């Protein structure tokens, strides 16, 4: 553009009779340039005036270019939190408001409040038989089938399924582990325990517990992995023991119990104070055909039998409390308890054992019939 302008000024100078060797060439070229600059300034002023008129006219009208957003927001509300597991115990986050009332007898009111609190606590601590246990959701069911120590897979699963970490999830997995162990599926029970503790650790580590836990486990942090895996083994061992005890408690246990057939009959126990003394004297009716040595042998046998009993059973006999004696007998095997009752009868410690005692094992009637048959046979033999 500048080149064409200079060429045009040179052509104008040539038309005016100026040659290139003419000393007036410089002045002529300068004059021509000034003329063109002046003309350009006039054109610019004219165009500026027309632009101002056009803008003033456009402001009188509303076009699409004048429309714009007064306020725009790209905020997207987060997805609602997943629902807790059905049957899970969820604490109410709302704080209870209390009102302090000034009273005339604060000590009496405090004592009454403590008494009421202990009563309500004892009633509320009683387990509800109809309480619903937490159950696995389809997501947790799939989560429980992941392999043991597959921390990367568990981490990816949790990121893909937001409803994995919800209130009651770890409890639901422990309930599933208990059921699986009861059904004999030890492998699935072990996986459920592993995943349940995994969720518990993530929850206990705080706000960023999930990423912190998996970062250490995936990196094979020796201290972190050893603590977690030991906890899994201990928890599973405790679960196995609980299942064994539940099966044992469910099975009926046969016991030997001393029960008087006649409500008016009282069962008592003759407890020896010690071995027979050196000097014995037999007085009163019934000792005409008995010698001192025979009585001494009987008393010594009673003492020896009593001394052979367990100290716990000795204390139960000394208390003369039939319930305590039956409690000790109930904790014994049936055969051991039967032998113990026979020794009590043989040593003369158990009173009214011949006709007033029966057991509740279900075989009492058969034993009584056998005893009656033996007595009838002995009487027939004497005749």
- 185, 266: one domain: no
- 316, 234: one domain: no
Residue indicated by tokens 């009282």: 266
Q: By the 8 A CB rule, do 357 and 260 touch?
A: yes
Ranges of beta strands (E only) in the chain are: 259-260, 357-358
- 313, 347: one domain: yes
The span from the CA of 119 to the CA of 166, in Å, is: 34
Q: By the 8 A CB rule, do 189 and 178 touch?
A: yes
Tens of pLDDT, residue by residue over 268-300, are 888 888 888 877 777 766 666 777 788 888 888
Q: By the 8 A CB rule, do 102 and 181 touch?
A: no
Average pLDDT (55-66) is 76
Residue 81 located in a structural domain = no
Ranges of beta strands (E only) in 21-85 are: none
Ranges of beta strands (E only) in 269-350 are: none
Residue 68 located in a structural domain = no
Q: By the 8 A CB rule, do 165 and 205 touch?
A: no
Tens of pLDDT, residue by residue over 244-274, are 988 877 666 678 888 887 777 788 888 888 8
239: domain range?
Answer: 138-250
Three-state secondary structure call for residue 260: strand
- 190, 301: one domain: no
∠ at Cα 136 (134, 137), nearest 5°?
A: 120
Provide the pLDDT confidence category of residue 86 given band limits of 50, 70 and 90.
low
Tens of pLDDT, residue by residue over 295-321, are 888 888 888 988 899 999 999 989 988
The span from the CA of 368 to the CA of 348, in Å, is: 20
> Is residue 235's pLDDT more than 70?
yes
Tens of pLDDT, residue by residue over 120-173, are 344 333 334 456 788 888 999 999 999 998 999 999 999 998 888 888 889 999
Average pLDDT (23-50) is 81
The span from the CA of 210 to the CA of 201, in Å, is: 8
**Stated pTM of the model:** 0.43
> Is residue 21's pLDDT more than 50?
yes
Structure tokens belonging to residue 72: 């725009």
Residue 246 located in a structural domain = yes
- 144, 167: one domain: yes
Three-state secondary structure call for residue 199: helix
DSSP 66: G
Q: Quick one: which of 316, 383, 302 has its CA closest to 345? A: 302
User: Total structural domains in the chain?
Assistant: 3
Residue 26 located in a structural domain = yes
- Of the candidate ranges 87-91, 199-203, 276-280, 310-314, the one whose mean pLDDT is the lowest: 87-91
The 10 Å CB-count burial string (b at 16+, else e) for 334-356 is eeebbebbebbeebbbbbebeeb
- 180, 234: one domain: yes
- 232, 150: one domain: yes
Q: CB within 8 A of 10, min separation 6: which ones?
A: 29
> Is residue 330's pLDDT more than 70?
yes
Q: By the 8 A CB rule, do 134 and 87 touch?
A: yes
Q: By the 8 A CB rule, do 178 and 243 touch?
A: yes
- 181, 203: one domain: yes
**More confidently predicted of 337 and 107:** 337
Residue 76 located in a structural domain = no
The span from the CA of 54 to the CA of 50, in Å, is: 6
- 246, 276: one domain: no
109 DSSP β-pair partners: none
> Is residue 105's pLDDT more than 70?
no
The mean predicted confidence, pLDDT, of the chain is 76
The span from the CA of 327 to the CA of 319, in Å, is: 13
């Amino acid at each position: 553009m500048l080149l064409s302008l200079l060429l045009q000024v040179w052509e104008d100078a040539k038309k005016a009779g100026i040659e290139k060797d003419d000393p007036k060439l410089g002045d002529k070229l300068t004059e021509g340039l000034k003329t063109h600059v002046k003309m350009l300034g006039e054109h610019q002023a004219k165009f500026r005036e027309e632009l101002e008129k056009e803008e003033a006219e456009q402001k009188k009208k509303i076009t699409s270019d004048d429309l714009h957003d007064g306020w725009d927001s790209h905020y997207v509300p987060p997805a609602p939190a997943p629902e807790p597991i059905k049957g899970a115990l969820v604490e109410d986050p709302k704080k209870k408001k209390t009102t302090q009332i000034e009273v005339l007898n604060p000590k009496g009111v405090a004592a009454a409040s403590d008494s009421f609190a202990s009563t309500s606590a004892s009633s509320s601590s009683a387990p509800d038989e109809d309480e619903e246990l937490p159950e696995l959701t389809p997501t947790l069911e799939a989560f429980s089938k992941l392999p043991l120590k597959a921390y990367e897979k568990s981490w990816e699963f949790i990121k893909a399924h937001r409803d994995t970490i919800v209130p009651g999830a770890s409890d639901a997995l422990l309930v599933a582990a208990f059921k699986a162990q009861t059904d004999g599926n030890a492998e699935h029970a072990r996986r459920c325990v592993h995943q349940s503790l995994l969720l518990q650790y993530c929850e206990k580590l705080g706000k960023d517990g999930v990423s912190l836990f998996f970062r250490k486990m995936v990196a094979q942090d020796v201290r972190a992995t050893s603590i977690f895996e030991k906890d899994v083994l201990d928890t599973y061992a405790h679960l196995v023991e609980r299942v064994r005890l539940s099966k044992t408690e469910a099975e009926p246990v046969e016991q030997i119990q001393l029960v008087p057939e006649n409500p008016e009959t009282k069962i008592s126990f003759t407890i020896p104070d010690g071995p027979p003394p050196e000097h014995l004297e037999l007085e009163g009716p019934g000792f005409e055909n008995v010698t001192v040595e025979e009585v001494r042998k009987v008393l010594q046998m009673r003492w020896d039998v009593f001394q052979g009993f367990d100290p716990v059973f000795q204390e139960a006999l000394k208390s003369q409390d039939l319930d305590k004696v039956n409690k000790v007998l109930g904790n014994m095997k049936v055969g051991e308890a039967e032998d113990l009752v026979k020794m009590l009868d043989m040593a003369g410690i158990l009173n009214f054992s011949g006709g007033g005692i029966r057991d509740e094992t279900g075989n009492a009637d058969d034993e009584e019939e056998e005893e009656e048959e033996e007595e009838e046979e002995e009487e027939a033999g004497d005749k």
